[in-house]
Structure 1
């Protein structure tokens, strides 16, 4: 998307993103709780299954923004303590640099990385082992409970997904520099295109348009087989869905072949 500055590709998705940007502006959030993903950049020597982040800046990869996030560290620590009290072994990241798995969507919807206070919650979706999708839902539910009595207007935001399998990620990006990642992805674009699965994407979007959860355990065993390794990132969607506790309306969906990705945007 960032490599298409003329905005020729993904018109349906772009229009949906613009609609949701308007919804966010109307809601005027006082705090954003963001469930995001990392592509083995922020987390390399140690990869926590789940982490809350007390200080962060933007890496600027893939055209994503740079700068500092406005993170209320005391509130992040309080969330970590609450999750630990509920038997979630969450890590506390004191400082890190986040890639486009956080920054691109945050800036697209809110304008800049420092536009609103944000509590970043990282869920590992890039490398095995990962928490189950059911566990991601439970973590989201607990985050929602933590902020339930907070009088502020809180926006739950997620990034990642839907069906895709960039070949650097599929082969294992650990040890690759940025140039090699890009080369492997570009050379493997035709292979990756085979993982774009519109039927799977639409089934997932239909399921989160309810509050029913019985489908999640059935989806997970074949998720990567059907929709590629990038589909692991729907864990972040599920966490935000559970935190908000409301059905999510599909604002737009489009399988964008140039981006080798099923692109969707939803809102409550």
Structure 2
């Protein structure tokens, strides 16, 4: 069965706090390479692994993983809003296959997703409704976080279940590498913030706009060197990419949870989506990394990467 994978970093600051033109040109070239790869592969189904930023998942019930049989994007940070083209039949079969393989998985019949899901679909396919997709939420922000080995187990189970569909499947990972944006945390939060993180009250347009402006300003402070956020860790990022390129997923999956945050910042656990996607690809055999791009982009508060891979 033919399968492929693409990793693509996202950032809410794309188009708002952009880096120098030469950096943008390199990113555009990398994205074009990924789009060419996808066009040549011609996927019949995309399994999209992405995090959430307290737009769809909250502490009232916070699963480590959740697969959607239907999904709607909220449209934050100017990303597209509306229904994703979820392949409900494929989603249900994959979910059953994962559970049959002994991996616990939450199912959502009405998942709410944000720019983490919408950006890669818009960037690579031209819209959130252009390709049959199975969205899979992977928690990378809300503590406590489970061991990386469970992420590998999830990806492997999904890969084996998807192989039974007899389709050309693209596993798509959405997430920054090392980055430390101003994401709220529950521990020590004032009552109003804590209630929002737990109950998930939808913000008013004014509240959402105010929150997005705070993120934009944080990006500007980061570039100016006046921020206390953890610096982008290029060595850590490239070590991760080396392990992917060398098919050494077991080493990636053994990384300690607390160490990852220390090395890569508060949102470095978005790399869980990368492990899940590549574990899905590796479930059917070794893979070749066909393309690898990396650049530290402070304006986007992210170690930014694009990769493509094809199963051997």
8 Å CA contact 1:55, 1:94 repeated in 2: yes
Distance 1:183 1:166 in 2: 13
How far residue 153 of structure 1 moved from its aligned partner, in angstroms, is 1.2
1:111 and 2:135 correspond: no
Distance 1:130 1:218 in 2: 12
How far residue 220 of structure 1 moved from its aligned partner, in angstroms, is 4.2
Larger displacement relative to structure 2 (178-187 or 154-163): 178-187
Task: Select the structure with the greater relative contact order (CA < 8 A; seq sep ≥ 6).
Answer: 2
Unaligned runs of 5+ in 1: none
Distance 1:223 1:81 in 2: 31
Number of equivalenced pairs: 268
Give runs of aligned pairs for residues 73-222 of structure 1, distance below 5 A.
Answer: 73-169=88-184, 175=196, 177-188=207-218, 189-190=221-222, 191=227, 194-216=230-252, 217-218=254-255, 220-222=257-259
Equivalent residue number for residue 31 of structure 2: 17
How far residue 4 of structure 1 moved from its aligned partner, in angstroms, is 5.5
Structure 1 or 2, whichever has the larger Rg, is: 2
How far residue 222 of structure 1 moved from its aligned partner, in angstroms, is 1.3
- Structure 1 SS opposite 2:299: helix
Give me the CA root mean square deviation: 2.3
239, 243, 260: which one pairs with 1:223? 260
User: What TM-score does the superposition give when structure 2 sets the normalisation length?
Assistant: 0.79
8 Å CA contact 1:10, 1:254 repeated in 2: no
Distance 1:208 1:5 in 2: 28
8 Å CA contact 1:160, 1:237 repeated in 2: yes
1:244 and 2:259 correspond: no
Distance 1:258 1:137 in 2: 31
How far residue 252 of structure 1 moved from its aligned partner, in angstroms, is 1.2
Larger displacement relative to structure 2 (19-28 or 188-197): 188-197
- How has the CA–CA distance of structure 1 residues 77 and 151 changed in structure 2, closer, same or farther, with 3 Å as cutoff? closer
Equivalent residue number for residue 62 of structure 1: 77
How far residue 149 of structure 1 moved from its aligned partner, in angstroms, is 3.1
- How has the CA–CA distance of structure 1 residues 114 and 229 changed in structure 2, closer, same or farther, with 3 Å as cutoff? same
How far residue 57 of structure 1 moved from its aligned partner, in angstroms, is 1.9
Distance 2:228 2:119 in 1: 21
Distance 2:137 2:120 in 1: 14
User: What TM-score does the superposition give when structure 1 sets the normalisation length?
Assistant: 0.91
Distance 1:213 1:26 in 2: 26
1:32 and 2:46 correspond: yes
8 Å CA contact 2:63, 2:139 repeated in 1: yes
8 Å CA contact 1:170, 1:229 repeated in 2: no
